[in-house]
Amino acid sequence: MTRLNPEELERRRRAQLGRTITGISALLLMILSAVLPNIMVQAATVLPGRSLIPASHFFLIANPNAEAFSGAKSVADAGIGISITYLGLAFQQVGLLTGLASFWVLIVDDVGRWTRRLVMVSGGYAWVPTLFAGLIMVIGGRLARKRLVMTWYWESPEIVQP
């Protein structure tokens, strides 16, 4: 075994610190993605909440014929919307599970081929749709600022409820 010079030891220590910060940041962001609000229908009374599990549970048992979806153009359209929404939430769950099982790979010095592939699957394929949807929502929200109506309750009094 060869002795490392002080510069090499310092470089390895800084690299390890950077990898540790990256790995713990990924873990915290995964936890936040599960507990922060997701999509929700206000009529969801079975398991109320907007975090990942209650939202997924609602869309898993949702019925397109239910009263909450009575404003849909057709039952088939409501069913497709429910299925696509649940599919997105399921992809997020798969990404979280594989991410929780493999985030440690970001921290360690030596990485195996299969553990690296697990990290790539959890970080890429499962979260890409959610990332793009989030970016579209943020950009769309920024663009919608031009169309913002400050006096909507004067222009649409039928929306206001007692």
96: enclosing H helix or E strand? helix 75-102
Report pTM: 0.65
Asked whether residue 162 carries a pLDDT value surpassing 50, the answer given is no
How many domains, the chain?
1
Ranking 23-27, 143-147, 150-154 by mean pLDDT, the lowest is: 150-154
Residue closest to 56 by CA, chosen among 25, 83, 80: 83
Q: Is 66 among the domain residues?
A: yes
Collapse the DSSP code of 35 into the 3-class scheme (helix H, G, I; strand E, B; otherwise coil) and give the result.
helix
Q: Is 38 among the domain residues?
A: yes
Q: Are 88 and 129 spatial neighbours (Cβ–Cβ below 8 Å)?
A: yes
Q: Is 28 among the domain residues?
A: yes
Quick: pLDDT tens for 91-138: 888 888 888 888 888 888 887 787 778 777 777 755 666 677 667 767
Q: Is 3 among the domain residues?
A: no
CA angle 9–15–16, rounded 5-degree value: 90
Q: How far apart are CA 17 and CA 14, in angstroms?
A: 5
pLDDT confidence of residue 20: 92
pLDDT confidence of residue 133: 66
Residue 72 — φ and ψ, nearest 5°? -70, 155
Quick: pLDDT tens for 2-42: 787 889 889 989 989 998 998 898 888 888 888 888 776 66
Quick: pLDDT tens for 49-74: 788 888 888 888 888 888 877 888 88
> First vs last Cα of the chain: how many Å apart?
79
Segments forming the whole domain that contains residue 106: 10-155
Q: Is 18 among the domain residues?
A: yes
For residue 47, give both structure tokens.
């398991």
